[in-house]
Amino acid sequence: MASTTEREEHEDQVHPDDERFGAALARALDEAARNLLDRGDETVERTLTLIVQGAIHTIPHVEHAGVSLVERGGQVEACSPSSDAVRDLDELQNELREGPCLDAIWQEHRTLVEDMAQTQRWPRYARAATERGISSLMAFQLFATHGSAGALNLYASSPHAFDEASADVGALFASQAALALHGAKRIQGLTVALDSRDVIGQAKGVLVERFGVGPEQAFSMLVESSQQTNIKLVEVATWLVGEAQKRRDRPAAPGR
């Protein structure tokens, strides 16, 4: 016999055909959007953690979640997994170069596996998932301005766990998550750009002091050094500032 808590939880669940479903979905997505988008000062790592936590809290029947991000060169990195099993499975797809999450990123926009024990599409991956207690999976592409930013990966222990409501809420949540991730990446990019500008300015000051040249000439010296060594300008500037700091910190010779 179901307990009072179990009955209450069952009663709180709204079926997609119920007229209350739209209102319940709107409330859930509104809460998720606030949690994800109203955090302009968050880092990309923190945003990814919020996306994973929000997915588990918001999307029906999701027990575990993670994000796969496309890095430079097309490499896919597993980020913010909610469990060791998710980390293992996300990384396994990179090793095998195949799997439902990769298909969602590059091919299908959404991939659904109803029963890992029955699918023949990725036999090695499916066997590993089953061994780790994962039977159902949904993956949604996180769109980007150009191409794909990655995928939101959702897991459940029971086969056929994800229904129409899960798919609908998951797709909408993934869209919100992509917006939040894009915003966090832009903020991080601006921060890196400001940091780079600062260190280049410090390096110019070192050259002005050391060689008695003007700021424009100092910048030209940095650019020429970068081109000749095939090292990025900001790395040249960082090295130069570091060497100048070492000289300042070096104890003076006796008698000076």
CATH number of the domain encompassing residue 69 = 3.30.450.40
Residue 160 lies in a domain: yes
Q: Are residues 150 and 242 both part of a single domain? A: no
Q: Are residues 210 and 174 in the same domain?
A: no
Cα 8 from Cα 24, distance rounded (Å): 16
Residue span of the structural domain in which 157 resides: 31-187
Tell me how far CA of residue 203 lies from CA of 199, 227, 235, 242, in angstroms: 6, 16, 10, 9
Alpha helices in the chain, H assignment, sequence order: 4-12, 21-37, 44-58, 84-96, 100-103, 123-131, 164-211, 215-229, 233-249
The answer on 141 and 208 residing in a single domain is no
Same domain flag for 117 and 203:
no
DSSP string, 200-246: HHHHHHHHHHHH---HHHHHHHHHHHHHHHT--HHHHHHHHHHHHHH
Let me know whether 169 and 216 are in one domain: no
Global pTM value: 0.61
Among 35-39, 79-83, 158-162, which is the least confidently predicted range?
35-39
Number of domains in the chain: 2
pLDDT of residue 36: 53
Q: Is residue 183 located within the same domain as residue 195?
A: no
The answer to whether residue 159 is domain-embedded is yes
Instruction: Give me the pLDDT at residue 143, please.
Output: 82
CATH of the domain at 205: 1.10.10.10
Placement of tokens 């919100």 in the chain: 176
Tokens of residue 188, six digits = 């991080």
Residue 82 lies in a domain: yes
Tell me if 12 is assigned to some domain: no
Same structural domain, 167 and 240: no
Pairing of strands 76-79, 136-143: unpaired
DSSP state for residue 2 in the 8-state scheme: -
Q: Please say which residue of 169, 187, 205 terminates a domain.
A: 187
Residue 15 lies in a domain: no
Verify that 183 and 205 share a domain, yes or no: no
Which of 15-19, 124-128, 136-140 has the lowest average pLDDT? 15-19
Q: Verify that 160 and 35 share a domain, yes or no.
A: yes
Residue 48 scores a pLDDT above 50: yes
113 within domain boundaries: yes
Question: Do 156 and 86 belong to one domain?
Answer: yes
Q: Which of 134, 153, 187 is the last residue of a domain?
A: 187
Beta bridge partners of 79: 67
pLDDT, position 177: 85
pLDDT at residue 131 in the model: 95
Which tens digits make up the pLDDT trace of 63-118? Answer: 999 999 888 777 888 888 999 999 999 889 888 888 999 999 898 888 999 999 99
Predicted pLDDT of residue 74:
75
Tokens of 40: 């302009």
Q: Do 87 and 131 sit in the same domain of this protein?
A: yes
pLDDT at 107: 87
Here the tokens at position 116 are: 């890992």
Question: Coil, helix or strand for 112?
Answer: strand
Q: Could you please report the per-residue DSSP string of 133-159?
A: T--EEEEEEEE-SSSEEEEEEEEESST
Domain check: are 44 and 167 in the same one? yes
Asked if residue 199 has pLDDT above 90, the reply is no
- Assigned domain for 108 exists: yes
Last residue of a domain, one of 161, 187, 213: 187
22 lies in some domain: no
